Amino acid sequence: MSRPIRPGSALGLLGGGQLGRMFTLAARNLGYRVHALDPGHDCPAGQVAALEIRAAYNDVYAAQALARGVDAVTVEFENIPAETLEAVAQVCPMHPGALVLHTVQHRLREKRFLASRGFPVTPFREINTQADLSDATEALGLPAALKTASFGYDGKGQQKLASPGQVPEAFAALGGQQGVLEAWVPFELECSVVCARSSAGETAVWDVAENAHRHHILDTTVFPARIPAAVAAQAQAMAIAIAEALGVVGMLTVEFFLKAGGELLVNELAPRPHNSGHATIDACITSQFEQQVRAVCGLPLGDTALLRPAAMANLLGDLWPEGGDPAWERLLDHRDVKLHLYGKTEARPGRKMGHLTALGASPEEALAKVLAAREALKG
Ligand code: AMP
């Protein structure tokens, strides 16, 4: 095992969105400096980083320049081009590694990896032609979810197919990209597990998060999930087993569908902190972002214990009145609700601008607090 990267060192970050911002804030608390690379100007992570490098993700030279100035590099999102990742890895340690990112950048590769290791996934078919799609709808039944194999998140590149008549239009909407057809899962709830794995092979896992989506975007998380303890333990064990099978160093989030009867299916992997883990900042001894710093730097992993039940509500751009700000003073009147804003100046519908967290005696109480505070924001 290589020597730990000590506080005072510099860390590189590919991607400067809100996950990168919260990573950077955690790194700063531990005494590290962060150099962030992002194509945008004044990005959320850049605002709090020691150095902001504005460059496209396929700018291999800029990424190598970033890597030369730091002791290790991490990512805040998985869709960084392979050439960039390889170039960075030539210069300094990068966590997660290029092979992990390669696997999870592509839904088919990810699902095949999971299935080959015996992890339960939604039945799926590879789609290259319209005939593939017709055959797959017959094999898997309808409704079904058609997704692009690459670059999908928050429901982007996704469509629900309800009848065979929709096949030509749905195939055309793939726009020439490879697709994946998934059987529709009649889930009881969606949940996720965030875990960490260090270069020494040490692992740490948080409680299971219970997630509610609106229009495919995470809306609220209740922490811990209101599911039987045995199911929660199974989800946590599966997340760690997947991290070990992938050989992740850093963070891994596993999203699950939970079916009636307690059956878990893996929906998606993300080799990084996750929106559903934001409550760990206020509700746990160690946040998912501090853990990312610890894992990337080869430090001992922090205690993931939950202090009190918690809930998180996302603040999307839809809450911003045209040309103005939400009613912050009304929100801040909810004195036991924590506001996290990401420093984004332009609010757009569906854009994640910030989130709220509250703790409570029960998950229900915490959820009621964040929902009331978010409602107050509307003025
Ligand atoms: P994804 O980007 O694949 O995580 O999908 C976003 C959301 O769409 C999920 O969190 C689910 O709420 C829904 N969804 C995606 N795939 C399926 C499926 N096969 N069956 C039912 N719901 C799905």
Give the residue whose CA is nearest to atom 15 of ligand 1. Answer: 145
Ligand 1 site, residue 267, Cβ cutoff 6 A = yes
Residue at a domain's end among 167, 183, 199:
183
Count CA atoms within 13 Å of residue 29 on its CB side: 15
pLDDT at 109 over 60: yes
Judge if 270 and 304 occupy the same domain.
yes
211 & 343 share domain: yes
pTM: 0.96
Burial of 361 (0-12, 13-18, 19+ CB in 10 A): exposed
Q: What is the pLDDT of residues 207-239, one digit of tens each?
A: 999 999 999 999 999 999 999 999 999 999 999
CATH number of the domain bearing residue 79: 3.40.50.20
Pocket probe mutation, ligand 1, options 267, 269, 314, max atoms within 8 Å of Cβ: 267
User: What pLDDT is recorded for position 2?
Assistant: 73
The tokens for 163 are 């009848």
The per-residue pLDDT for 152 is 67
| 2 occurs within a structural domain | no
48-98 pLDDT tens trace: 999 999 999 999 999 999 999 999 999 999 989 999 999 999 999 999 999
Task: State the Cα angle at 64 between 26 and 28, rounded to 5°.
Answer: 15
pLDDT digits (tens, 9 = 90+) for 172-189: 999 999 999 999 999 999
31 CA distance to ligand 1 centroid (A)? 39
DSSP 360: -
What is the 157 CA–ligand 1 centroid distance (Å)?
11
The alpha carbon of residue 363 and the mean position of all alpha carbons in its chain are separated, in whole angstroms, by: 22
Domain extent at residue 314: 187-376
Is residue 82 a contact partner of residue 98, using CB atoms and an 8 Å limit?
yes
What angle do helix axes 82-91 and 60-68 make, rounded to 10 degrees? 30
> Band of the pLDDT at 332, cuts 50, 70, 90?
very high
For the residues 123-138, what does the mean pLDDT come to?
98
pLDDT at 153 over 90: no
Distance 102 CA to ligand 1 centre (A): 21
**pLDDT tens readout for residues 336-371:** 999 999 999 999 999 999 999 999 999 999 999 999
Q: What is the mean predicted confidence (pLDDT) over 261-281?
A: 97
Instruction: Note whether residue 109 is domain-resident.
Output: no
Average pLDDT of the residues of the chain:
96
- Phi, psi of 219, rounded to the nearest 5 degrees: -105, -55
Distance 192 CA to ligand 1 centre (A): 13
The burial class, CB within 10 Å (0-12 / 13-18 / 19+), for 350 is middle
Indicate the number of domains in the chain.
3
| Whether residue 368 is found in the same domain as residue 296 | yes
Whole-angstrom distance, CA of residue 299 vs CA of residue 208: 24
Instruction: Examine the domain organization and report whether 290 and 312 are in the same domain.
Output: yes
Spatial separation of the C-alpha atoms in residues 145 and 180, rounded to whole Å: 8
Residues facing 209 on adjacent strands: 192
| Same domain assignment for residues 55 and 169 | no
- DSSP-derived pairing of the beta strands 33-38 and 144-148: unpaired
Q: Kindly give the interhelix angle for 229-246 and 107-116, rounded to the nearest 10 degrees.
A: 110
pLDDT at 83: 94
Q: Is it the case that residue 154 has pLDDT exceeding 90? A: no
Q: Which residue type, as a one-letter code, is found at position 50?
A: A
Asked which of 132, 154, 183 is the last residue of a domain, the reply is 183
**Based on the domain organization, do 252 and 307 belong to the same domain?**
yes
